[in-house]
Amino acid sequence: MVKKAPNPIDKHVGSRVRMRRMMVGMSQEKLGEHLGITFQQIQKYEKGTNRIGASRLQQISTCLNVPVAFFFEGAPSANPEGDGEGFAEGHSPAYVSDFLATSDGLALTRNFMRINDAKVRRRIVDLVSAIAGEEMEAQRSI
């Protein structure tokens, strides 16, 4: 029997649950306790392995203090003229959500937003762009 791959929407919703849970500093175990389920079930939700039902998503949104719509922001949408793998116009690419769902991404974003000086933030962006450009050049030469 062939294993079925998780649905892209389920993966996206799960990654948004993970991102929000991490933003509020809640463990999988603690969220599971609030919902009356195991942390393993939370892991499956976050990976998109198990689909989150409507009533459970409502419970999660209450626990994490966000509207249900938060979990669908930037979700992949069916493209009537394409293969259905694209994103709705105006939404962030998947790598942005994936990055923000990591502890490094969340810490970087949280701390970056705490920098009040716009010029300093701009210089940090320029620095990271320069470093990334150098890495891209090195990869091209290999």
Contact 10, 51 (CB under 8 A): yes
Q: What HEC string does 59-101 produce?
A: HHHHHCCCCHHHHHCCCECCCCCCCCCCECCCCCCHHHHHHHC
Q: Which pTM value belongs to this model? A: 0.66
Model confidence pLDDT, tens digit, residues 19-71: 899 888 899 999 999 999 999 999 999 999 999 999 999 999 999 999 999 99
CATH of region 1-101, choose from 3.30.870.10, 3.40.50.150, 1.10.260.40, 2.40.160.210: 1.10.260.40
Least confident of 26-30, 61-65, 99-103, 121-125: 99-103
